[in-house]
Amino acid sequence: MNRVVKYLSVILKWRRLIFWNALTLTVIAVVVSFILPHRYTATAQLLPPSDEGDIFGLTSLLGGGAGGSLSKLRSGLMGASTGSDLMIGILSSRTVMGHVAEGCSIANYYGIRKPSPEKSVRQLKDMTKFAAADDGIVRISVEAKTRELAARVANTYVAELDSFLRYSNISRGRNMRVFIEKRLAQIDTSLAVAGESLRAFQEIHKVASVEDETKAAIDAYAKMRSELSLQEAEYEAARSGASDDNPYVDNLRRQIAATRNELRKLEWGSGTSGFGVGFGVSFQHLPAVAAEFARKYLDFKIQQEAYATLYQQYEYAKILEARDAPTLTVLDYAVPPERRSSPRRAIIVGVVFLFSLAAGTVFAFVAEYFWFVKAARPEEYQGWRGLAGELSAVIRFRRARRRRP
């Protein structure tokens, strides 16, 4: 007999069992799907930061430069993640979730026994899903037992994220301002002293300027020294907000070492001794008056370049500290959903129906096989019965052990 015919004959033979099994389980699934509590999902969408790495949103105020430098400091302290990843990391933090759970009274809504912040946060985690699309848009999806609660929780996430970033702007700007303010005061004093010394030397010795080659080398050296001052400022600010093994802090440390090495090359020039000014020119090979003037001019240019660079950072830090505007761009606020997100009755009923149909068919073929073995191969059938008896004995033994005190 053809295999297909055999299979069809088995199904027809057991058709009543298959039918009633599928019908019974499907009816149960329908009833359960109506009993299950409704859940509603509300979604809020946030646009990613407009500038790369500038989740705190102020680099554009200064068009790069100082803003770009501090922007790198912010993003570096948090790793090489994208703005969307940073936003999701902040949203899923215990601090933000704790504020959301408390603000939305999660413990009261879900009747948590012996409520605590930890239990409320766990419940909130079960309700919430964060995702970043390929275009960088961050989606906050909240599933709750009421429409209004779902929308309220999602929008509270948005408000808490904005509050956190705004406070971070202000506190970070304050820390940067205080640190750079001290450094500027030191440089301002040094600049005044260096300028007065240079002016007095020019008046006494009637020196107007230095040679072009020496001046070019001094300007290059002074610029590099100002870059070193900025790197050191960034390094100290980074260390105040991260550990020494942070990748960005470690990278700044290596940059400072490399800059100092380049400065040493300029200081020594290509000679074997003495303080050089680059391009193979050594101060000891210059006339005494020219050498002394070059040194004073170098000191003045170093202080001047460092002051100009740090002053840009200082102005940026003051803007960062003073700004109290919203830091987020909200594409869509969450609104109470019109339809429930679960239970999905059609999916539940469809899956249970297919499963019950398959289970009934498998049972029919297994039963048919044992009927055949019982009639055609009694020895094999007895082996199966013995195996079934052993399994039953093991189950009874385990039950007996569980009942013992």
What does the pLDDT read at residue 41?
92
Give domain status of residue 300, yes or no. Answer: yes
211 and 305 inside one domain: yes
Q: Which residues constitute the domain of residue 15?
A: 1-36+345-399
Q: How far, in whole angstroms, is CA 351 from its chain's centroid? A: 37
- Cα–Cα distance, 194 to 177 (Å, whole number): 25
Within a domain: residue 217?
A: yes
Per-residue pLDDT at 207: 54
Q: What is the dihedral of CA 218, 222, 223, 225, to 10 degrees?
A: 140
Same domain, 281 and 359: no
The token pair at 178 is 């205080």
Residues 270 and 353 in one domain: no
Strands of the sheet containing 128-132, edge to edge, are 128-132, 138-144, 40-46, 330-332
Same domain membership, residue 220 and residue 298: yes
Question: How far apart, in whole angstroms, are the C-alpha atoms of residue 89 and residue 96?
Answer: 10
Does any domain span residue 74?
Answer: no
Of the CA atoms within 13 Å of residue 319, those in its CB half-sphere come to 16
pLDDT value of position 52:
40
Last residue of a domain, one of 298, 317, 336: 317
Confirm if 382 and 55 have CB atoms less than 8 A apart.
no
Do both 311 and 371 map to the same domain? no
In a domain, 332, yes or no: no
Q: Assess if residue 196 is contained within a domain.
A: no
**Same domain flag for 210 and 313:** yes
Is the CB of residue 43 less than 8 Å from the CB of residue 332?
yes
Determine the Cα angle at 252 with ends 247 and 253, to 5°: 95
Whether residues 263 and 306 fall in one domain: yes
Under DSSP, the state recorded for 47 is P
Judgement on whether residues 211 and 313 belong to the same structural domain of the protein: yes
- Which pLDDT belongs to residue 340? 84
Predicted TM-score (pTM) of the model is 0.53
Q: How many domains does the structure of the chain reveal?
A: 2
Whole-number Å distance between alpha carbons of 234 and 248? 10
What contacts 24+ positions apart, CB below 8 Å, involve 220-223? 220/266, 220/278, 221/263, 221/266, 221/267, 221/277, 221/278, 221/298, 221/301, 221/302, 222/298, 222/301, 222/302, 222/304, 222/305, 223/305
The helix-helix angle for 147-205 and 83-91 (nearest 10°) equals: 120
Determine the pLDDT at residue 288.
59
In a domain, 268, yes or no: yes
Written as tens digits, the pLDDT of the chain (405 aa) is 567 788 788 888 888 988 998 999 999 999 988 888 888 999 999 987 554 434 343 333 333 444 444 445 444 444 444 578 888 888 988 889 999 999 898 888 888 878 888 898 999 999 999 998 887 889 999 998 889 999 999 999 999 988 887 777 666 666 677 777 777 787 778 778 877 777 776 667 665 555 565 667 667 777 777 778 777 777 776 676 566 677 767 788 888 888 888 877 766 655 444 444 444 444 444 455 566 666 677 677 777 777 777 777 777 777 666 665 556 788 899 999 988 887 888 888 999 999 999 999 998 888 888 888 877 888 877 887 788 788 888 787 777 777 765
- For residues 310 and 375, membership in a common domain is answered with no
Asked whether residue 146 is assigned to any structural domain, the reply reads: no
Paired strand residues for 130: 140
Q: Are residues 312 and 269 in the same domain?
A: yes
**What is residue 320's predicted lDDT score, i.e. its pLDDT?**
63
Residue 49 falls inside a structural domain: no
Residue 225 and residue 289 in one domain: yes
As beta bridge partners, residue 332 has 45
How distant is the alpha carbon of residue 403 from its chain centre?
51
Give yes or no: residues 292 and 220 share one domain: yes
Q: Say if residues 56 and 173 touch (Cβ distance below 8 Å).
A: no
